Amino acid sequence: MKGVNAMSNAYGIDLGTNNLKIYDNANDSILNISNTIAVINDDQMYSYGDDAYSMFEKAPDNIDVSFPISSGVIADFDNIQTMLFKILESDLGARLKNSDITIAVPTDITEVEKKAFQDLFIKSKTKVRNIRLCEKPIADALGIGIDVTEPTGVMVVDIGGDTTEISVVSLGGIVQTQLLEFGGNLLDESIVTHLKRKFNLLIGRKTAKQLKENIGAAKEGKDLKSVIVGRNVVSGLPVEFEVESDEVFAGIKADLTNICGAVKRALEKVPPELAKDIVHSGIYLTGGGANLSDLAEFFNEETNIKVNVCEDSSETVVKGLNLVASEDKFKRFGFVMQSKIFG
């Protein structure tokens, strides 16, 4: 629902490792595409978004397919800026002049890394009216539907592509947060490693991701199967191979346990009164990694606390950004990084 002061040209932007999400306030819609760019001859954008991702692990040497966001921060400023403006102006038809932009940033990164998100628009030819940043845990909680201004502790675990952010929010502030440098991509890599070690089968990360999404689960006994094509490392020839869901679980179990371990350590540091709130309301899982089947049950068994997997979990942050941009009550959660002048 839009606030009374909602702007007709306001945009919330969540630059995730794997996916880029943009909330267009005018149309009350979300664009969710792969945060991938394909560059040809070193400096010319060949493709971007889902089209570029379809080239990943398939492109010839003269086409470089990459992910401009790495471990929650901007790794390739020029390419992400080029792609972002192309999407906004061409794909969305955005009216950027005099528009309001709100961008999500992880909390546990440096001030310089945060400012780089703001500089995407400051250092551009198109001049917008306002550029504000919002810490991801706050946007996450708002997007879930939680009023973060209340004196109630809420734990949000956002499992992204390269990172997992574990945060406790209360009274409009972040009580504690930790950014772990592993997420869903590590699960994919672990599936690749497991199948290679056990079956001498080499597959790509895209195939591993498909296995995780199609038959993967955070528990054994799902009795699901999927036929894939990989390369036998002994013969060197491509082969068809049927993978069972239990093999996917075997590959990712250690990683899931590590994430749960980090959550338990975070819980041990929570003040008692806030811990009571978390036990009552439960832990909220968001991010693309939260879509793994039976993940809530796995977390519940590890922590003995109720676990809530949010609907449209990969889009909770960008939904929260829309509230920060359009609702007077939440505008204070958007902030501007000031440039330091050295004399």
Q: What does the DSSP assignment read for 170-207?
A: ETTEEEEEEEES--HHHHHHHHHHHHHHHH-EE--HHH
Is residue 342 over pLDDT 70? Answer: no
> pLDDT band at residue 339, thresholds of 50, 70 and 90?
low
- Residue 343 confidence (pLDDT): 34
d(CA 262, CA 157): 10
Q: In what order do the strands lie in the sheet with 37-40?
A: 44-48, 37-40, 63-66
Is residue 27 assigned to a domain? yes
Provide mean pLDDT across the span 317-332. 93
> pLDDT band at residue 206, thresholds of 50, 70 and 90?
very high
d(CA 195, CA 38): 29
Query: How many CA atoms, within 13 angstroms, populate the side-chain half-sphere of residue 225?
Result: 4
> pLDDT band at residue 42, thresholds of 50, 70 and 90?
confident
- Residue 19 confidence (pLDDT): 96
Is residue 332 over pLDDT 60? Answer: yes
100-136 pLDDT, tens digit each: 999 999 999 999 999 999 999 999 988 899 999 999 9
Question: Is 290 in a helix, a strand, or coil?
Answer: helix
- Closest residue by Cα to residue 151 from 168, 167, 131, 171: 171
Provide mean pLDDT across the span 254-280. 95
d(CA 332, CA 2): 17
- Closest residue by Cα to residue 290 from 135, 195, 193, 156: 156
- Residue 341 confidence (pLDDT): 38
> pLDDT band at residue 3, thresholds of 50, 70 and 90?
very low
Residue length of the chain: 343
- Helix boundaries (H) for the chain: 49-53, 77-86, 111-122, 136-144, 184-199, 205-214, 245-268, 272-281, 295-303, 316-326
Is residue 258 assigned to a domain? no
> pLDDT band at residue 321, thresholds of 50, 70 and 90?
very high
Output b/e per residue, 134-153; b: 16+ Cβ within 10 A.
bbbbbbbbbbbebebeeebb
The pair phi, psi for residue 82, each rounded to 5°, is -60, -50
Is residue 311 over pLDDT 60? Answer: yes
> Structurally, how many domains does the chain consist of?
1
What percent of the chain is predicted at pLDDT more than 90?
Answer: 87
d(CA 267, CA 263): 6
Domain residue limits at 75:
10-140+316-333
Is residue 308 over pLDDT 70? Answer: yes
Return the minimum-mean-pLDDT range out of 93-97, 236-240, 249-253, 281-285.
93-97
Is residue 260 assigned to a domain? no
Cα–Cα–Cα angle for 75, 174, 146, rounded to 5 degrees = 100
- Closest residue by Cα to residue 187 from 223, 153, 217: 217
d(CA 113, CA 174): 19
Tokens of residue 146, six digits? 């939680």
Is residue 109 assigned to a domain? yes
Provide mean pLDDT across the span 250-270. 96
> pLDDT band at residue 1, thresholds of 50, 70 and 90?
very low
Is residue 323 assigned to a domain? yes
More confident residue, 65 or 91: 65
Is residue 250 over pLDDT 80? Answer: yes
71-85 pLDDT, tens digit each: 999 999 999 999 999
Of the chain, the end-to-end C-alpha distance in Å amounts to: 47
Is residue 277 assigned to a domain? no
Tokens of residue 229, six digits? 């094509």
**Is 286 in contact with 141 (CB distance < 8 Å)?**
no
- Closest residue by Cα to residue 108 from 133, 137, 132: 137
Is residue 44 assigned to a domain? yes
Is residue 214 assigned to a domain? no
**What does 49-110 look like in DSSP terms, one character per residue?**
HHHHHTTTTT--TTEEEE-SEETTEES-HHHHHHHHHHIIIIIS----TT-EEEEEE-SSS-
* CATH number of the structural domain spanning residue 59: 3.30.420.40
d(CA 252, CA 188): 8
Instruction: Give CA 194 to chain center in angstroms.
Output: 25
**Is 326 in contact with 6 (CB distance < 8 Å)?**
yes
Is the pTM of the predicted complex or chain greater than 0.85?
yes
Is residue 249 over pLDDT 90? Answer: yes
> pLDDT band at residue 93, thresholds of 50, 70 and 90?
confident
